[in-house]
């Protein structure tokens, strides 16, 4: 099945204790789509500048990602620059240059509007809602966001949250959005507002998920080779959403069992993402390789 992914495609300048990379492929939609491409056919709706090289279009195409929805602007490509110290859970931003992304208005074709699955990656919630309202036949909607939008556009963000099926946020964002100190209480409060499922990303500490009144947790895969965590959360969401789409029937409620498997799949995919700069880590997450790590996660949590 094909999935529509609306978000950012960007350049990243990244510094970690393991090296420095400049002008590498970044953006939430890029990480998400490569992570999802093992199981489904994602189509990206995004904007880049006239400085965006053909090699990156070809690179995305090589995974089976449909790049026909990426608009090319006469402005510059969105560019993020940041660094990580030994606490790789914390990204420090040096600079953010929005470029073409500042005036981004997602353009959907008539075929796009008929898609049954939509993922709203981390962009302005006003744009997320505009996209959502154009969908005519959507059966499953997932979304991600960040503290910047929670602080600056809370009302607009809540409007989207109430209309989606699955919300992906990290633990700090969950608490911030709900205004609750308790993580479980915060996730349940958000779930009552609309989404069937609230997935709480906790980095190296795994995932907590609230679904249909049930709570379950999944550990992170115990990788020892953390090179660059940029995009790991997007890769997790891509793995998780793609598994749900590949193993569920459109329009039917997702079972807790399927969601548990999807979270484990996403965790395994994300473990590859951190093992290389930019998308080079997640690019190695073949279906067979992910299945091996899911089997290890199963053994880790069985008692």
pLDDT string in tens for the chain (303-residue length): 789 999 999 999 999 999 999 999 999 999 999 999 999 999 999 999 999 999 999 999 999 999 999 999 999 999 999 999 888 878 889 999 999 998 999 999 999 999 999 999 999 999 999 999 999 999 999 999 988 899 989 999 999 999 999 999 999 999 999 999 999 999 999 999 989 999 999 988 899 999 988 899 999 999 988 999 999 999 999 999 999 999 987 667 888 899 999 999 999 999 999 999 999 999 999 999 999 999 999 998 888
The per-residue pLDDT for range 82-95, each reduced to its tens digit, is: 999 888 878 889 99
What is the overall mean pLDDT for the chain?
93
Q: How far is CA 225 from CA 17, 53, 193, 275, in A?
A: 12, 29, 39, 6
What's the pTM value of the predicted model, to 2 decimals? 0.94
- Structurally, how many domains does the chain consist of? 1
d(CA 135, CA 132) in angstroms, rounded, equals 5
**Helix 232-246 crosses helix 256-273 at what angle (to 10 degrees)?**
140
d(CA 60, CA 205) in angstroms, rounded, equals 30
Record the tokens describing residue 86, joined without a space.
């030994």
Contact 194, 161 (CB under 8 A): yes
Three-class secondary structure of residue 101 per DSSP:
helix
Print the domain residue range for 177.
2-301
Q: What is the CATH number of the domain that holds 222?
A: 3.40.1190.20
d(CA 137, CA 32) in angstroms, rounded, equals 22
Record the tokens describing residue 197, joined without a space.
């499922």
The per-residue pLDDT for range 131-168, each reduced to its tens digit, is: 999 999 999 999 999 888 999 899 999 999 999 999 99
């Amino acid at each position: 099945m094909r999935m529509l992914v609306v978000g950012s495609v960007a350049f990243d300048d990244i510094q970690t204790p393991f090296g420095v990379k400049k002008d590498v492929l970044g953006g939430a939609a890029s990480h998400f789509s490569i992570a999802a491409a093992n199981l489904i056919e994602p189509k990206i709706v995004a904007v880049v500048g006239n400085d965006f090289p053909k090699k990156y279009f070809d690179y995305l195409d090589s995974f089976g990602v449909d790049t026909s929805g990426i608009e090319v602007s006469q402005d510059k490509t969105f560019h993020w620059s940041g660094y990580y110290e030994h606490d790789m859970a914390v990204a420090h931003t040096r600079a953010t240059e929005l470029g073409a992304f500042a005036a981004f208005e997602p353009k959907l074709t008539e075929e796009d509007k008929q898609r049954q699955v939509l993922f709203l990656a981390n962009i302005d919630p006003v744009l997320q809602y505009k996209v959502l309202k154009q969908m005519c036949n959507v059966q499953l909607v997932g979304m991600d966001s960040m503290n910047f939008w929670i602080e600056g556009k809370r009302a607009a963000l809540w409007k989207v949250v109430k209309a989606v099926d699955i919300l992906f946020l990290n633990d700090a964002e969950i608490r911030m959005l709900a205004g609750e100190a308790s993580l479980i209480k915060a996730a349940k409060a958000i779930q009552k507002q609309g989404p069937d499922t609230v997935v709480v990303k906790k980095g190296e500490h795994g995932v907590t998920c609230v679904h249909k009144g049930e709570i379950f947790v999944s550990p992170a895969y115990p990788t020892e080779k953390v090179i660059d965590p940029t995009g790991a959360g997007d890769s997790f969401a891509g793995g998780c959403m793609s598994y749900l789409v590949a193993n569920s029937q459109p329009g039917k409620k997702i079972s807790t069992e399927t969601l548990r498997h999807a979270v484990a799949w996403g965790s395994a995919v994300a473990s590859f993402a951190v093992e290389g700069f930019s998308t080079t880590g997640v690019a190695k997450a073949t279906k067979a390789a992910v299945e091996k790590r899911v089997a290890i996660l199963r053994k880790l949590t069985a008692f």
